[in-house]
């Protein structure tokens, strides 16, 4: 009698673990729209996700904004801006999972001035926060 209860309990636990990936993948979200703007003074990435999420990172003539909030300023053409532009150029043709993977893999150049490094960290955190639940 106790043996059958143990088997039933183990079966229930095992079945629960089988359902866990289904539950987690149901929580994943997807990128539904991507807009990249590259101009002389602008380098912008706008993403919208299922479930009303969004992310907007904009370099505009030296002013850096995340979600329309100024996070800092730098000299136009600064190494961080160049790295951001190169990232955007590299993801133009990517969508959803591959896009999220490439954006999450991005890191700012090393050796930036402290103020610029702080901006870079905010961008990386914004990308991580917005993309960590995207199904890759």
Closest CA to 79 of 47, 107, 46: 107
93 or 16: whose pLDDT is higher?
93
**CB 64, CB 92: distance < 8 Å:** no
Q: What are phi and psi of 106, to 5 degrees?
A: -65, 140
**CB 22, CB 7: distance < 8 Å:** no
d(CA 122, CA 57): 10
pLDDT digits 0-9 by tens, 29-72:
899 999 999 999 999 999 999 988 999 999 999 999 999 999 99
pLDDT digits 0-9 by tens, 70-106:
999 999 999 999 999 999 999 999 999 999 999 999 9
Whether the predicted pLDDT of 22 surpasses 50 = no
């Amino acid at each position: 009698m106790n043996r059958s209860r143990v088997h039933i309990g183990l079966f229930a636990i095992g079945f629960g673990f089988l359902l866990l990936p289904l539950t987690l993948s149901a929580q994943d979200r997807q990128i539904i729209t991507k807009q990249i703007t590259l101009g002389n003074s602008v380098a912008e990435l706008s993403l919208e996700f299922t479930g009303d999420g969004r992310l907007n990172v904009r370099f505009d003539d030296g002013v850096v904004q995340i979600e329309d909030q100024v996070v800092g300023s730098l000299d136009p053409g600064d190494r961080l801006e160049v790295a951001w532009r190169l990232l955007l150029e590299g993801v133009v043709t990517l969508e959803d999972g591959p896009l999220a993977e490439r954006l999450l893999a991005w890191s700012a150049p090393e050796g930036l001035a402290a103020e610029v490094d702080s901006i870079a960290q905010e961008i990386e955190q914004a990308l991580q926060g917005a993309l960590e639940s995207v199904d890759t």
